[in-house]
Structure 1
Amino acid sequence: MKKSSKKNVDIFVILFIALSLLIANMAMASADDAESKVKQVFEQIESSLTNLKTTNQFTKSNIRDELNKSLLPEVNIKFFSSKVLSKNLQKVPEELREEFSSELSKQLINTYSNMLSKYDNEKITIGQGSLSKSGKIAMVNVTIVGESATNKAVVKLLKSNEDVWQFFDIVVEGISLLDSKQAEINSSFNKLGAEGTLQRIKELNIRSINAS
């Protein structure tokens, strides 16, 4: 009887180890997928910026066009918008929610184009990725190396129901783009409400386009 019991314990130990290794391998593969997605998108962005520089077309307007093609399709706009709106989402009438998402996505691209307008042939290197406990969020390290300075960033991605990694935030030198936008929206909602905030975002987007 004791021998049979020991054999059962051994089987359970073997099964536990095998399951742990399987989960670890799946997590590693998933983190690698997130890294590959970030590398693919940033290589495309870097190539576009270099091309704009060499052809003397390096303007915010052209940068925005490139980002609309290479970055925007990879962003989970619905998740980004809901996180930015946060507690204010319930204050947004149903008929305005899609418009909010659209204008926030424009603001996201405008913010990136403003940041990247300072690009001066820095080398963008994609580092190691890590997963949240749920395995639904990945954080991928990015290093931007210039002649006089090196900046570090962390790109955050969300895994969709179709197992596709999508961008939703970037943290540059400890400052989260999503958190910054959320603070702006909170302040605006307190002063202007839902419709006033939407109008303000539209005006900022138009102003950013006109300044290109």
Structure 2
Amino acid sequence: MLTIAVPVTALSSETATDSQAVQQYTDPFKMMEVVADKTFQRIANDQKLIADNKEHLRLIVNEELVPYIDSRYAALTVIGRTVNLRDLPREEFDNFVVAFQDYMVASYAGALTYYTDQKVIIQPARPPENESIITIKTRVIDPGKPDITIDFKLRRNRGSEHWLVFDMVAEGISLLDSKRAELSNLIRQQGVARVTELLVEKSKEPIKVPE
């Protein structure tokens, strides 16, 4: 049974992405309430499919989470100061964003292998006023076991009222930070185009349970 406890007041609008309507939210807590509810409930309902094939988690992440992930910002964070973005061709960067998103999907899917049908609680907090980056804390409660903490980091672009996720911190470990540590030197040594090729190959690997 899934329990979500958060403020529910929000203004929202719908935009179309690839012919599918994607709800946008000005209240990040409302967004996480809806997205987490749909994602975790689907994982709970699809346990047989997941047990038969963990790749089903990749499908769930793509359909339920990716529309609310700021992959472009995450990719920029990973590239950081390793290259001069002014000298980087737009197409090369766009290709990196797509490859990095697919790579992160596999990481998110792997992190979610721990979830089956536990209770998930989003800790309520005051809606932000002037902040552009916030952390929303969640706890996965499994009777008889220590709680699992999963924090979602969200941001909104300057001039925008809508929020997107750019990082997930599971048990204190930031997926984005770990990927940046993994890829920064490779980008510096081999270039963005080569690392893009490597990410395309890595994203094809089977979903793995994190150590």
What TM bracket, shorter-length normalisation? 0.7 to 0.9
Flag structure 2 segments of 5+ consecutive residues without an equivalent: 1-8, 12-25
Is 1:119 paired with 2:115? yes
Give the helix-richer structure, 1 or 2. 1
Question: Which segments of structure 1 move beyond 3 Å, counting only runs of 4 or more?
Answer: 129-134
Mapped contact 1:107–1:201 kept (Cα < 8 A): yes
Q: Deviations over 1:107-134 (max 9, x none)?
A: 1111011111232322211013467785
- Could you tell me whether the CA contact under 8 Å between 2:93 and 2:192 is conserved in 1? no
Residue in 1 that maps onto 2:19: none
Larger relative CO (CA 8 A, sep 6+): 1 or 2? 2
Contact 2:79 2:180 in 1 (8 A): yes
Structure 1 segments unaligned to the other structure (5+ residues): 1-27
TM-score (norm 1): 0.76
Shift of residue 209, structure 1, vs aligned partner: 6.5
Which position in structure 2 is the counterpart of 1:18? none
Corresponding residue number in structure 2 for 1:102: 98
Q: What is the deviation of 1:190?
A: 3.7
Secondary structure in 2 matching 1:87: coil
- C-alpha RMSD of matched pairs (Å): 2.7
Within the candidate set 154, 157, 162, 1:157 is matched to: 154
Partner-residue secondary structure (3-state), 1:44 = helix
Q: Deviations for 1:157-188, whole angstroms, at most 9, x for unmatched residues?
A: 11233311110011222211111111111132
1:17 match: none
Equivalent residue, structure 1, for 2:18: none
> Could you tell me which residue of structure 2 aligns to residue 34 of structure 1?
28
How much does 1:29 deviate?
Answer: 7.5
Other-structure match for 1:84: 78
Show the counterpart of 1:181. Answer: 179
Structure 1 residue aligned with 2:40: 46
The residue that corresponds to 2:199 in the other structure is 201
One-letter amino acid matched to 2:89:
P
Letter of the 1:202 partner, please give it.
V
Aligned equivalents of 1:135, 1:207: Cα separation in 2: 37
- Answer with 1 or 2: which has the greater Rg: 1
Question: Structure 1's 29 and 51: CA in aligned 2 closer, same or farther, altered over 3 A?
Answer: closer
User: Partner residue of 1:62?
Assistant: 56
Secondary structure of 2:205's aligned partner: helix
In 2, Cα distance between the equivalents of 1:69 and 1:42?
12
Look up the SS of the partner of 1:154 in the other structure. Answer: strand
- Amino acid in structure 2 at the alignment position of 1:157: L
**Which residue is equivalent to 2:141?**
145
Structure 1 residues 182 and 65: CA distance shift in structure 2, 3 A = same
> In the alignment, which residue of structure 1 is the partner of 2:167?
169
Cα pair distance change 1:114/1:135, threshold 3 Å = same
Q: TM-score, normalised by structure 2?
A: 0.76
Taking the aligned partners of 1:44 and 1:156, their CA distance within structure 2 comes to 18
User: Contact 1:129–1:138 at 8 Å: present in 2 too?
Assistant: no
Change (3 A) 1:198 1:65: same
Q: What residue identity is the alignment partner of 1:48?
A: R
Q: Is the 8 A contact 2:83 2:188 kept in 1?
A: no
Work out whether residues 100 and 196 of structure 2, in 8 Å CA contact, stay in contact via their aligned partners in 1. no
Q: What SS class does the counterpart of residue 128 from structure 1 fall into? A: coil
